[in-house]
Amino acid sequence: MPELPEVECVRRSLEPVLIGRTLREVLRHRPDVVRGDANAHGLSRGQRIERLVRHGKQLALVGRGPGGTTGCVVAHLGMSGQLRWASAPANPAPKHTHVVWRFDQGELRFTDPRRFGGVWVFPSLEAAYTARWAELGPDALSVTPARLHRALSRTTRMLKPALLDQAVVAGLGNIYVDELLFGARLRPTLQANAVTPAQAGSLTRRMKTLLSRAIRAGGSTLRDYVDGTGSAGGYQLAHRVYGRAGQRCLRRGCGVDLASSTLAGRTTVYCPACQG
């Protein structure tokens, strides 16, 4: 947490309040949270926010100054990170606030109690793509069946750990992989290179449908997640397997108790009957 749907909801909620605003000041309360090229200042004073771009679970804020200078910061929310808009500055900053971008009216705060996330600075979005996003696979909302099949065919890992690998497909995490594999009736322990082209096509279609539904519902709020304006999501109410170990399978005609195991260090919930 947060995964692709949650980060996309953050992006959509922040766009109306950030696009066109001019940055006045950057406050780094924990400088070690900010990483990247020491000579790249990222967003700097006087730049206006032009775009918010997401790839997988990462979100880029892109700005341009009056002289044409560009800047970019990439935020990764990790497990507990938040990007929250506030209409008025706070002094002192709220607890666990690591970076604050102050604008002509209001401020954007990056908070992360567990510090598994971070902020990376780049001189441009193109530099971010080259230095950080090039190592990621295609975004889960745009991956093609052929590309997913090629990536899976190259690994002998189990299917769930393969789908969690951001170099295979960017954006999926524990929640949505469990939900995806349940919908596709595929075992989490299936060897990834045993997935057929037809199954890869089904996975791709179901992946996009699942993620799109979660985005429309505002994402899944299980603990800390809220969007950029503080609103919680509601998709957790639609989870069919995640967090339901020991409960009855919801697939019509099944009724078997859901099982759980640990794969790649993650608790995995699945139906031993429906997913074979």
Is residue 186 within 8 Å of 179, Cβ to Cβ? no
Rounded to an integer, what distance in angstroms lies between the CA atom of residue 57 and that of residue 76?
Answer: 7
Is residue 82 within 8 Å of 112, Cβ to Cβ? yes
So which residues are the catalytic ones? 2-3, 57, 266
Of 175, 188, 179, nearest in space to 250 by CA:
179
Of 265, 58, 60, 76, nearest in space to 164 by CA:
265
C-alpha 222 chain-centroid distance: 15
Beta strand ranges found along 66-138 (DSSP E): 70-76, 82-86, 97-103, 107-111, 118-122
Question: Within 10 Å of residue 161's Cβ, how many Cβ atoms?
Answer: 19
DSSP H or E stretch at residue 4? helix 4-18
